[in-house]
Structure 1
Amino acid sequence: MAFYVFMYPLKLADRIVAAPAQVNAHAGDAQIMLTICFVFPLVARWLEPQNKQLDRLDGRILRAMASRTLANFNGACGAAAFLYAHLYAVSTDYLKIIPALAITISIAAVVATQKMWSRYRKLCTLTHQDTQALIRVLEQSSDGEGRTAVLEAWDALERDVRTKVDTGFAFGVRLVPKHVSTALAEAVDTIVRAAPDAEKERAQALVDLKAIRDMCAARIDVTA
């Protein structure tokens, strides 16, 4: 599917060169690519395996980023094809501005993609820092001062894991699946209350946190 999504705009470029006057067909192709821009990340997320999500965390995030990149590529090409079809239908005189529009849209797509990946590396850097801080606190004693430190460290990390990695909006893929962050929140609550099974929850939380830390470690970029 990803290969088809990647090749569709390239094949459309060949069709436009071969038959530039078929504006209705090209406008239809533009609508398809704009639809792909919005739908493809949702389909990719729906197809994502739901079992062992923490073990699959690395691949899950990379697939989300790749699908969003392909979606942005289709969106940019769809916008360019849409403008081409409608300007060509009005007058062929407008064709002279098509190259400038195409270049502008291409630059905007490249900048948006670069910013998305830079944002992802920055989030991984911050999450690695906050995860490491929580791990160190959990490995210490659980006295009153320690419980306060656990809560403060978790508050910082919770904001990281709830952040969407592929967009800056409410929609998108969370850095950590919701059920994983919920389990960590419950474990932290159990630990700070010093419940009977606190040590068991602490051990499992440390395993999960180290998995998150290791995933982020490969993407640390303090200059992002």
Structure 2
Amino acid sequence: MKMAVWGLLAFRYALFPLFLFDRIVASPERLADHGRDAQQMLVFCLAFPLYTRWIVPQDDPLERHEGRVLRAMASRTLANFNGACGIAVLLYAALPRDNVKVLPAVGVTIAIATAAATHKMWARYRKLCTQTHTNIHTLVRLLEKPPGEGNGNQSDVLNAWSAVERDLRTRVETGYAFGTRFAPKAVIAALAEAVTTVGGQLPGHQEARDRALTDLQTILDLCIKQIDSVA
């Protein structure tokens, strides 16, 4: 049900700004109505990414990993689009009637800014996937080495895990604290426990190694679809 509501909201607000601009052209004098529509788009800009994070199912986080990340990216794209359009409409409502001729320039500027922000966000995601793929491969090679082969010692494994952990804790769609982590906290905690067990050769390290390799391969499968070595 939550996913259905998410899809309906995404569809509605992907089209809402376009229909609003048609209404503005048809009835430019209805400034109060247009102002309320702009406020609605700004509320959507702030609330929709939060709703997207809230509806993520808590069971099987790795199996749902790709959908969770892509929904976060899509929600941020729609939020940016509606936020920019809402600001444009508020400027339209605030401008004196004799200054309406500047609206095309304002509209073009906001459109360019939105496109640039969206491009930067997706480039950030591709770069993160590429970096995570490289670091996970390094960790996997160390985990697959038989114990006692020098390169597979505890220090190397833990250093490689530190790099991977930083990647998994990075927000995929924004550099700020309110974004979505590349991997859920539960996944990071489980991997940290497994890698620590393997690195320290603690009891159960063989099972921990198998579990860590399986989880890391799942994340690699997601990353490989977005690799861009020149991002």
Q: TM-score normalized by structure 1?
A: 0.96
SS of equivalent to 1:219: coil
Corresponding residue for residue 72 of structure 2 = 64
Q: 1:91-102 counterparts in 2 under 5 A?
A: 91-102=96-107
| Alignment partners' CA distance in 1, 2:199 and 2:126 | 31
Corresponding residue for residue 114 of structure 1 = 119
Deviation at 1:190, TM superposition (A): 1.3
Corresponding residue for residue 203 of structure 2 = 196
Q: 1:146-161 counterparts in 2 under 5 A?
A: 146-161=153-168
Q: 1:26-105 counterparts in 2 under 5 A?
A: 26-87=34-95, 91-105=96-110
| Alignment partners' CA distance in 2, 1:49 and 1:195 | 32
Corresponding residue for residue 217 of structure 1 = 224
Equivalent residue letter for 1:130: N
The one-character-per-residue Cα deviations of 1:48-95 (angstroms, maximum 9, x if unpaired) are 2221110111111111101110000001100100100111xxx21110
Corresponding residue for residue 129 of structure 2 = 124
| Alignment partners' CA distance in 2, 1:47 and 1:186 | 27
Any gaps of 5 or more consecutive residues in structure 2? 1-8
Identity of aligned residues (%): 53
Deviation at 1:198, TM superposition (A): 1.0
How many residue pairs were aligned? 221
| Alignment partners' CA distance in 1, 2:28 and 2:200 | 70
Any gaps of 5 or more consecutive residues in structure 1? none
Deviation at 1:119, TM superposition (A): 0.5
| Alignment partners' CA distance in 2, 1:160 and 1:142 | 26
| Alignment partners' CA distance in 2, 1:192 and 1:68 | 38
**Alignment counterpart, residue 23 of structure 1, candidates 17, 26, 31:** 31
The one-character-per-residue Cα deviations of 1:129-162 (angstroms, maximum 9, x if unpaired) are 0011100000012337521110110011111000
The one-character-per-residue Cα deviations of 1:168-208 (angstroms, maximum 9, x if unpaired) are 11111111111001111111111122111111111100000
Deviation at 1:102, TM superposition (A): 0.6
Equivalent residue letter for 2:45: C
Comparing 103-112 with 47-56, which one deviates more in the overlay?
A: 47-56
Corresponding residue for residue 171 of structure 2 = 164
Root mean square deviation, CA, Å: 1.0
Contact 1:142 1:192 in 2 (8 A): no
SS of equivalent to 2:58: coil
| Alignment partners' CA distance in 2, 1:12 and 1:31 | 12
SS of equivalent to 2:176: coil
SS of equivalent to 1:112: helix
Comparing 191-200 with 127-136, which one deviates more in the overlay?
A: 191-200
Deviation at 1:10, TM superposition (A): 1.2
